[in-house]
Amino acid sequence: MKVVLFQPDIPQNTGNIARTCAVTGSSLTLVKPLGFSISDRYLKRAGLDYWNDVNVDTIDNLESYLEGQNNNFYFFSSKATKLYTDVTYGSDDILIFGSETQGLPQHFYEKWPEKFVTIPMVDNSRCLNISNAAAVAVYEALRQLTETIISG
């Protein structure tokens, strides 16, 4: 499983997502520009001692990256209508989350509308914190994969 964060702004959220990736064996890809530094000195100061337990990549262009993939990918957005539980996840799938302040660019919605899923929330509420949303998504995918292994 791979988690992709599109231009993340808040280092603490990225740190929480990195920790989820570390404990689930998922990898993490960060799409530049980042709203913070990921230098070793900064990470150590932020207490992210598990950062070395995660396969972290950075990329410049998400669209080019996705076009070069053979794996399924899903964008998580509060604007989507299809539930995240209505997707059958594979072990190599890519789960994509927008920046905390800007979300995902509109052209992704236009290019890949069938790839957008949502986590249900109460109407007129603020969005779920991105680190919580990533944890919900990763663990749903793992739940499905575990059930497949057990029943398969």
CA dist list (Å): 113 to 3, 55, 61, 73: 19, 29, 19, 12
Contact 92, 71 (CB under 8 A): yes
- pTM for the full predicted model: 0.92
pLDDT in tens, 13-47: 998 899 999 999 999 999 999 988 877 566 555 54
- The number of distinct structural domains making up the chain is 1
By the 10 Å C-beta count (0-12 exposed, 13-18 middle, 19+ buried), 72 is classed as: middle
Neighbours of 92 (CB within 10 A): 12
Domain hosting 35: range is 2-151
CA dist list (Å): 5 to 101, 104, 145: 12, 10, 22
pLDDT at 12 over 90: no
What CATH number does residue 57 fall under? 3.40.1280.10
pLDDT in tens, 103-151: 999 999 999 999 999 999 998 888 899 999 999 999 999 999 998 666 6
Q: What is the pLDDT of residue 41?
A: 64
What amino acid is encoded at 129 in this protein?
Answer: N
SS3 content of the chain, % helix, strand, coil (to 5): 40, 20, 40
